[in-house]
Amino acid sequence: MRMPLHRRHRGRKPIKLRNIPFASIGTVRYNIFEIQYMILKESMMNTHTIRAQKSIALIAHDARKQDLVNWVEKNESVLKRHFLCGTGTTAKMVSEQTGLPVKAYRSGPLGGDQKVGSLIADLAVDFLIFFWDPLTSQPHDPDVKALLRIAVLYNIPVAMNQATADFLLSSSLMDRDYVRELIDYEGRIGS
């Protein structure tokens, strides 16, 4: 029986398979492209820079929409320096009543919350202001829970009431770049 190729060449120059150089790390052999990919993936997955001009998602349940609009009006001087987006009616109300440009996605129950969640996962939304109604059951509660889970998973700042939103907006980090750490959950679940 022949000895496996990786054992026959131990201690010699790295072998080339189809002109791709290989390297050994411990007892595992990787081609150079796999190693470069692992290094790139590790560097990309550990941190992400939230730029000084942030992408802020604005979401509010029906009973809190006017509260959010009033809060945006009060903080217009800060918010106008950032990119704003939001779900359906909330984005429309904020844009119409404040004059600020707000990119509108679908209504929350029609997939808007999931869309914002996917933008967070794609690192396209840096910040979430979500005035939710704690006294009313929502038909799309699973979507809301999924959105909040994604926000925590990707370590973005989240405000779910006016006091927290005020603290976040008045932070010295609002006007500069911020490097946030991302936990490698993929490595933890073994995919």
The 10s digit of each residue's pLDDT in 180-190 is 988 877 767 76
Q: What is the mean pLDDT of residues 28-32?
A: 57
Which of 113, 122, 177, 184 is catalytic? The answer is 113
SS3 (DSSP) at 77: helix
Q: What is the pTM of this model?
A: 0.74
Q: How confident is residue 169, by pLDDT bands cut at 50, 70 and 90?
A: very high
Q: What is the mean pLDDT of residues 99-111?
A: 92
Residue 43 has phi, psi (to 5 degrees) of -70, -35
Residue 13 is predicted with a pLDDT of: 52
The tokens for 133 are 């109604």
* Residue 113 known to be catalytic: yes
Question: Could you tell me which of 34, 81, 73 has the C-alpha nearest to residue 56?
Answer: 81
10 Å Cβ neighbour count for 83? 18
Instruction: Find residue 159's DSSP bridge partners.
Output: 129
* pLDDT tens string 121-153: 999 999 999 999 888 877 778 888 999 999 999
